[in-house]
Each structure stands twice: as C-alpha cells, then as structure tokens.
C-alpha cells in the first residue's frame, strides 16, 4: 500500500495485511490509541478533569 516496512519480515511474508498485523504484534507501529470517556474534553487528561 506504499508505506515503508518498519520491521524485518520473515521470509515469504508479502501480503500487506499480514505485514501490518506482524508489525502490530511486534509493537513496531508507532501509534497510540486514546479513548476518551463520555464527558471528557479532548486535550484534557482524565486525571485533571474537574467534575
């Protein structure tokens, strides 16, 4: 799909979806997912949120 491979792949692994899953399983994808709870404002950590 055009993105560079971020990790050394095992021989024979060429399917883009399988490559992405392999990278994800090996913590090579630099993505952090943050889920805000209802009522939280974006950009404000839950620990500092006042009620």
Per-residue pLDDT of the chain (51 residues; tens, 9 = 90+): 577 888 899 999 989 899 889 998 998 887 777 778 888 777 655 555 555
Which residue in this structure is represented by tokens 């792949």? 9
pTM: predicted TM-score of the whole model, two decimal places: 0.53
CA angle centred on 15, ends 10 and 23, rounded to 5°: 55
pLDDT at 22: 92
Contact in structure between 1 and 15 (CB atoms under 8 Å): no
- DSSP-derived letter for residue 39 is T
pLDDT at 39: 81
Q: Which two tokens stand for residue 23?
A: 């990278």
pLDDT at 10: 92
In the chain, where the domains are located: 7-37
């Amino acid at each position: 799909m055009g993105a560079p491979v971020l990790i050394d792949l095992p021989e024979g692994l060429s399917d883009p979806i399988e490559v992405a899953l392999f990278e994800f399983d090996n913590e090579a994808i630099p993505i952090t997912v943050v889920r805000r709870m209802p009522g939280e404002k974006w950009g404000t950590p839950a620990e500092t949120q006042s009620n």
